Amino acid sequence: MKKVVVLTGAGMSAESGISTFRDSGGLWEQYPVEDVATPEGYARNPKLVLDFYNARRRQLFDVKPCRGHELLALMEHDYEVTVITQNVDNLHERAGSTHVLHLHGELMKATSSAHPDDPKYIVDLPQEHPDIHMGDLASDGSQLRPFIVWFGEPVPLIEKAVELVEQADIFIVIGTSLNVYPAAGLLHYVPSATPVYLIDPKPVAVSSRQKVFFIREGASKGMEELLSLLKKSNNNM
């Protein structure tokens, strides 16, 4: 069974109604990144940061996976699929994807402020009580914080992501501008003989040594087109 590795970004979840960060009218226009997505912002005003992510978490309960998420999950019937996502929502899992690597953390988890990357302090937040409040403590006694990789923090799972990409028989990019590193750099680890498909309604600048097949559609229509292309390719083999 061929190995398919998929890199997804904010455009993947935009069709579900989750606000993107970088587009016009996105979250960064409403909330300066320095205030809510850096360790320094958290140190200055932890309550602001907790409230920001509490609101993002509650939004999850009002949205559902889009058709693109569902089609990606259905690919597991025919391929060995691993999703590497820059998104912190749980829509891939809710759609049925069983192998999801979250590069930038997970919204429905919390961790220690003192040791944010230590697995023994990472906890699932219950759906019935999803908010994190000042005074909620991790098991090491520090304030609980969102399990999110903020700007300026290391990305602990990037090496695992590189290993997965190096083994890909098919590499798919959906809904990411390829501007955020180190995730954007994963493209450089795709084997030279591996076809690369990029799904995005907007033009995306790509520097890659291999040919990239562009599908200028959103996640759902793009996935439908991609599956049709793959089916034709398999029939011609």
> Which of residues 117, 148, 179 is at a domain's end?
148
- List the domain range (segments joined by +) for residue 49: 19-62+109-148
Residues 132 and 213 occupy one common structural domain: no
Residues 125 and 185 occupy one common structural domain: no
Secondary structure (3-state) at 95: helix
Contact between 58 and 214 under an 8 Å Cβ cutoff? The reply is no
Residues 28 and 4 occupy one common structural domain: no
Judge whether residue 236 has pLDDT over 90: no
Q: What is the pLDDT of residue 28?
A: 44
Model confidence, pTM: 0.91
Judge whether residue 31 has pLDDT over 80: no
Question: 41 Cβ partners below 8 Å, 6+ apart?
Answer: 34, 35, 48, 49, 150
Q: What is the pLDDT of residue 222?
A: 96
Around Cβ 96, how many Cβ atoms within 10 Å?
Answer: 13
Judge whether residue 23 has pLDDT over 80: no
CA distances from 118 to 2, 44, 146, 156, 210 (A): 33, 23, 13, 10, 37
Residues 169 and 221 occupy one common structural domain: yes
Residues 177 and 206 occupy one common structural domain: yes
Secondary structure (3-state) at 120: helix
Give the tokens for residue 210: 């291999």
β partners of residue 145:
111
Domain count, the chain: 2
Query: What percent of the chain shows pLDDT beyond 70?
Result: 92
Residues 181 and 168 occupy one common structural domain: yes
Q: What is the pLDDT of residue 20?
A: 55
Band (214; pLDDT cuts 50, 70, 90)? very high
Name the strand (E) or helix (H) holding 27: helix 27-30
Q: What is the pLDDT of residue 7?
A: 97
pLDDT digits (tens, 9 = 90+) for 54-99: 988 988 888 999 999 999 999 999 999 999 999 999 999 999 999 9
Around Cβ 18, how many Cβ atoms within 10 Å?
Answer: 21
Q: What is the pLDDT of residue 25?
A: 47
Which residue numbers are catalytic? Answer: 104
pLDDT digits (tens, 9 = 90+) for 104-155: 999 999 999 999 999 999 999 998 999 999 999 999 999 999 999 999 999 9
On the question of a cis peptide bond just before residue 182, with omega within 30 degrees of 0, the verdict is yes
Report d(CA 2, CA 213) in Å as an integer. 18
DSSP result, 204-229: -----SS-EEEE-S-HHHHHHHHHHH
Residues 55 and 96 occupy one common structural domain: no
Backbone angles phi, psi at 8, to 5 degrees: -120, 150
